[in-house]
Amino acid sequence: MSSAVAAPVVPAQARTLSLGGLLVLAFGSADFGLESSIILPALPVFAQEFAASLIAVSWMATGFLLASVVAVPLFGRLGDIFGRRRLLLDGLGAFAAGSLVCALADSIGVLIAGRTLQGMGAAVGPLALGIARDSLPRERLKPAIGILVGAGGAGAAIGYLLSGLLVDHVSLASIFWLLFAVAVVLLAGAAALVPGSPPRSRVPVDVAGAVLIAAGLGALLLAISKGNDWGWYSGRVLGLLAAAAALLAAFVLVERRVEHPLIDLDFVAGRPFAQAAVCSFAVGFVMAVAPLVVPQLVALPPVTGYGLGYSTTEAGLVLVPMAVGTMVAAWVAGRVDDPAGPRALVTGGAVCAGVAYVSLAVAHESGGQIAAATGVLGIAVGLTITGIAAVVVPSAPIDKTSAAAAVPNVVRTTGIAVGAAVSVAIITGAGLLGPVPAEAGFTRTFVAGAIAAGCALLAAALLPGRVARRAAA
């Protein structure tokens, strides 16, 4: 049973977020984008350096993903209860500690452990949105959402670019020393400039719900992420899927019965939240295809007739327009959300995503064609994520903002995992042209991205044109 939490106690004049504090939150969101993207172009180099298979080094991405999907809802709700600033500092601390472990790692196992610890900091994004809502007036909140979403795109752009530059000209370890330094600086900035959350009614932590959702989502994402490696009909994958279903069903039962649930299911299953979650899944799928497929495509030798023979740095560069497009579109969307409305933003983003993937499917013979398409795709991501956040953040009870913002984040992460798994399955299923994947596999993955964009377009029709802001639980 989900019952109402006692009304939050908000001071008459909550401390306003300064420009410096907003910049710290924006750089924290950028740091998450940086942490997520910077290792991706370098995975083949990690495999060579540590004498590991590509499947083994892929756990550097998988471990981060699994930790993030567990940490986001848990840290989000704990931040709502105990203070978002406190949990924000914990998240940045996880970034710093995980980066230090990776920088000192002497084996692939230690690297994976460090990346998993880094993933615990993924809740920085939802916590930053909650802090912004706590401490900004309504007229400044929507632009702030655009800035925070756009900063994540900027961080991803920097990560794609720096990855190759650091690996090619410094060292692999320099990636993690940079991440460590950034996290330490942000910790100091957050401690000095980010205001504490208004006091909330203290309620018991739903430990049972936290354990069940962490285990259930972890099992689900692990099965999806490793299905292509282990075999979709293998005992391990089927067992994980069965365990995930049982654990998540138990989570629903627990949340219906506890007095203070981790996630208010009545809220997240109702309008407009459920419709935003559907959009989030489709957007996650859209986000997964290009960053995974494009580096593989452009790195293939030109003798194949469709590869471009790009280096790690060059492969990262063709993805930079996607991240820059995300940053710019999110900033603009935050400025125009009130006159345009969330439905228009997500619809526009879905159309851009469809155009980008159709373009990639038809023409991917040059770096310019690919970069132009990824730039349009970045615009799509910036518009859709900002539009979804504009639905969720203002409509959530103010004492549950971070937990509410965490749910579409988790759904989007699940969509990313599904998109990555489907892309690998399509490329593998298309067969080989000699020792390399056939071009048809890449083309079909781009078509799958266009189909996902169409699903996002259909889901966008269910979103509201305007969202009224709620003030309390």
Q: Do 62 and 193 share a domain, yes or no?
A: yes
Q: How many domains does the chain have?
A: 2
In a domain, 175, yes or no: yes
3 found inside a domain: no
State yes or no: pLDDT of 235 exceeds 70.
Answer: yes
| Angstrom distance (rounded) from CA 393 to CA 301 | 46
pTM of the model: 0.79
The pLDDT score that the predictor gives to residue 152 is 80
- What amino acid is encoded at 398 in this protein? I
Lowest mean pLDDT among 12-21, 231-240, 266-275, 285-294: 12-21
CATH of the domain at 342: 1.20.1250.20
Helix, strand, coil shares of the chain as percentages rounded to 5?
80, 0, 20
- Name the percent of the chain lying above pLDDT 90: 33
DSSP 393-439: HHHS-GGGHHHHHHHHHHHHHHHHHHHHHHHHHHHHHT-EETTEE-H
Write the pLDDT tens digit of every residue in 252-293: 999 888 887 877 787 777 777 778 888 899 999 998 899 888
Rounded Cα distance between 370 and 358, Å, is: 11
Residue 7 — pLDDT band, cuts 50, 70, 90? Answer: very low
Per-residue pLDDT of 86-112, as tens digits, reads: 899 999 999 999 999 999 999 999 999
The answer to the question of residue 389 being in a domain is yes
Last residue of a domain, one of 216, 243, 259: 259
443 and 427, same structural domain?
yes
Among candidate residues 191, 226, 259, the one where a domain is terminated: 259
In-domain check, residue 469:
no
- What is the CA angle 46-48-54, rounded to 5? 70
Residues 233 and 112 in one domain: no
Q: Is 194 part of a structural domain of the chain?
A: yes
CB 15 within 8 A of CB 196: yes
Beta strands in 280-385 (DSSP E): none
Of 171-180, 194-203, 205-214, 458-467, give the lowest mean pLDDT range: 194-203
In the predicted model, is pLDDT for residue 444 greater than 60? yes
246 and 264, same domain (yes or no): no
pLDDT score for 1? 41
Same domain? For 292 and 362 the reply is yes
The verdict on residue 11 lying in a domain is no
Judge if 194 and 236 occupy the same domain. Answer: no
Residues 226 and 335 in one domain: no
Nearest alpha carbon to residue 319 among 24, 42, 114: 42
Model confidence at 353: pLDDT above 90: yes
Residue type, 13: Q
Cβ atoms within 10 Å of 429's Cβ, excluding its own: 12
Rounded Cα–Cα distance for residues 325 and 334 (Å): 14
- Work out the end-to-end distance of the chain between its first and last CA atoms, rounded to an integer number of angstroms: 16
Q: Domain range for residue 251?
A: 207-259
For residues 168-182, average pLDDT: 92
Residue 98 in any domain: the answer is yes
Which of 219, 241, 259 is a domain's end point? 259
